[in-house]
Amino acid sequence: MSSDTVAVIGGGPGGLRAAQGIADIGHKVVLVEKQRYLGGSPITQKYYGLTPRGEPAQPQIQQQIDLVMANPLTEVRLGTEVVAVDGEAGAFTITLRTEAARDETFECGAIIIATGFSHFDPGRSTQMYGYFEFPDVITQPDLEAMLSEQRVLRPSNGEVPERICFIQCVGSRDRQIGNEYCSKVCCGVASKEATELREMLPDSKVLIFYIDMRMYGYWENEIYWPAQEKHHIQYVKGLITEVLPKGDRLLVRGEDTTMGRPMEVLMDLVVLSVGMEPSPGTRDLARLAGVRQNKYGFIDAPGTPLDPVSTDREGVFACGAALGPADIEDTVSSAAGAAMKAVGYLRSRAVAKAN
Amino acid sequence: MSSDTVAVIGGGPGGLRAAQGIADIGHKVVLVEKQRYLGGSPITQKYYGLTPRGEPAQPQIQQQIDLVMANPLTEVRLGTEVVAVDGEAGAFTITLRTEAARDETFECGAIIIATGFSHFDPGRSTQMYGYFEFPDVITQPDLEAMLSEQRVLRPSNGEVPERICFIQCVGSRDRQIGNEYCSKVCCGVASKEATELREMLPDSKVLIFYIDMRMYGYWENEIYWPAQEKHHIQYVKGLITEVLPKGDRLLVRGEDTTMGRPMEVLMDLVVLSVGMEPSPGTRDLARLAGVRQNKYGFIDAPGTPLDPVSTDREGVFACGAALGPADIEDTVSSAAGAAMKAVGYLRSRAVAKAN
């Protein structure tokens, strides 16, 4: 390993795509992942279907993992954390710590940070909607895991829920908690999960309380129209103010802003559409690699939109949700962009040295 | 030129990024552009500022052009159209026709289609809002050109407009005209243009009539919040049914869906936020290269979301708005993805041949 190697930190969909791309074009890559397995959030959080078309997440991600593992130019380090980044562009030294707490180093010419996001913790919001009080208030990733297990039951009593609602923008578009940005994917994910619920529980009634439905591009025709017309999901433009217990159900209170009147509905299961925040790994890597973060803690790409993957430090690139809210297609695209920039950077140094 | 060359068709932001990426990693590329200049829509349509941060479009795109022109691995063919694609993956023969109608061919191993979009023609809509009747009804790209020339005047009388409104979703989210998809960028572009109008004409009043404001990700905090709080742009959730002349102004009629009441406002200038459709070049190339299109005529990427750039034909990739609605960041990212896939494909063939 040496200066013609690229280090990719993080083994989720972005890191996998970056590693695969680098190796496919003939460069060496070391892929470092903290967990003992590859795949990132889709695997850790047990995603059920991918947006927009609902293909099963696990086998799709497994295919990407297999491609990476099969390439002899790729070295994969699992259960391993980056604890130091020394040196400079073209000749970085990265110190790794394995679970056995044994430190070792390797050299690389460029670094790609693919450390992703964490779901917003509703315990941190002033609008927590009873997430820690009522077992039947869950989050989007909680529901994703239930869907994957084909067991969507009310945590309070193990019964099949009949009335289910989603509350959008939990931890997003919210100045009070400091997350003014939109998390981009939650409208599409809620609609996808709502569709999956209606398919799995045909007797259920599913509502989505939203501010704006951000079903951009093909999400409009591929997810949003069928959700309404084929799956009869009800979209209510409204602001939810509180979730209270009532009997063995949940009373969801707020305002229907289209009808301009207060609203109260009884629900069996309430799903909080929690937004994206930088993962602890993204914050750590930004600090270790010495790259600027934006006010939210995501990694800053000063050259956006025409160069959305270069950080403010030479030789260090980032991709996917380490840069901010991103859907899975955004993530693999920006990962390819980061891979290309990293290899292009190494090549430009090699050419300069040869001349 | 031969099988280790990649052909990139289309010299807009996507084609430029793809060509630059391929050359940066040491491969030969032929970039073919129908116009006599590079840059695509931002240059042809005289874009003023780029989303989300409003950097001047022309110099930013020019930088990309300069990078492409400076790379000795890149051959640029301007004023040239592709008229045939023969052969097969690894050994395509592309026939070019120059303006002098002289045909010539070259060989390449892989093809990237980067032929982009056209703005929706409001003459085709059943809701045309008087675009061809009233000179003060213009489109987003019309306004973009006015902003670039720093001359925003009412076409009818050359006066500075005081009251300006945008009508969103013209040619998008519309089953009647067959475009059910959302064009993704128009909410952000309208808000950006509205901000630029308020800066250029501080006495103006600017309204945006919308269905959902799709200000995804950082567009929320970088464009939408400042548009409202700093620039006092008024967002009205509503449906506009017609635009009529009244005196020397335009009467905009519809329903304010939040207030649940009919609405009539007098405007000096009405801007139609026209959506994206496949460009004629995208339709032509899909046919010539024999790749599948979706029902809207954009090129289909069957492996989306994890492989959003491969077409259904081996060795042929697509990027940017040739695949569907895309913002400029999406476009450069997917262009890098296509470049990486194309080079990876050529390398896998070379490796297979060597073994």
Give pLDDT tens digits for A292-320: 999 999 999 999 999 999 999 999 999 99
Strands (DSSP E) contained in A171-268 are 205-210, 234-246, 249-256, 261-267
A139 with A266, same domain? yes
Which sign, positive or negative, has the C-alpha torsion B65, B68, B70, B76?
negative
Q: What was the pLDDT predicted at B102?
A: 83
**Number of Cβ pairs closer than 8 Å across A and B?**
169
Residue A324 is nearest to which of B53, B182, B217, comparing CB atoms? B217
Of B275, B301, B323, the residue at which a domain comes to its end is B275
* Rounded-to-integer distance, Cα B174 and Cα A129, Å: 36
A107 with A185, same domain? no
B200-210 pLDDT, tens digit per residue, is 999 999 999 99
Best of B168, B182, B208, B216 to mutate (most A CBs within 10 Å, chain A)? B216
A269 with A157, same domain? yes
Question: How many CA atoms, within 13 angstroms, populate the side-chain half-sphere of residue B159?
Answer: 13
Over range B237-245, report the average pLDDT.
93
A144 with A229, same domain? yes
CB contact under 8 A, A216 and B216: yes
The answer to whether residue B221 neighbours chain A at the CB level (below 8 Å) is: yes
Per DSSP, the three-state class of A188 is helix
* Rounded-to-integer distance, Cα A11 and Cα A17, Å: 9
Report the domain count for chain B: 2
B111 with B184, same domain? no
Per DSSP, the three-state class of B19 is helix
A146 with A266, same domain? yes
Q: What was the pLDDT predicted at A259?
A: 84
Q: Which residue from A223, A229, A217, A185 is spatially nearest to B181, judged by alpha carbons?
A: A217
* Rounded-to-integer distance, Cα A221 and Cα B158, Å: 41
Domain that holds residue A237: 120-275
Q: What was the pLDDT predicted at A146?
A: 98
At position B231, the amino acid (one-letter code) is H
CATH number at residue B320: 3.50.50.60
A247 with A132, same domain? yes
For chain A, the first-to-last Cα distance in angstroms comes to: 23
A125 with A112, same domain? no
pLDDT at B1 over 50: no
pLDDT at B2 over 90: no
Per DSSP, the three-state class of A170 is strand
The answer to whether residue B47 neighbours chain A at the CB level (below 8 Å) is: no
CB contact under 8 A, A304 and B53: yes
pLDDT at A278 over 50: yes
What pTM did the predictor assign? 0.96
Of A221, A243, A275, the residue at which a domain comes to its end is A275
B77-111 pLDDT, tens digit per residue, is 999 999 999 999 999 999 999 988 789 999 999 99
* Rounded-to-integer distance, Cα A216 and Cα A330, Å: 13
A267 with A285, same domain? no
Question: Where residue B258 falls among pLDDT bands split at 50, 70, 90?
Answer: confident
Give percent of chain B with pLDDT exceeding 90.
92
pLDDT at A14 over 90: yes
Q: How many CB atoms lie within 10 A of CB B89?
A: 16
A58-75 pLDDT, tens digit per residue, is 999 999 999 999 999 999
A132 with A270, same domain? yes
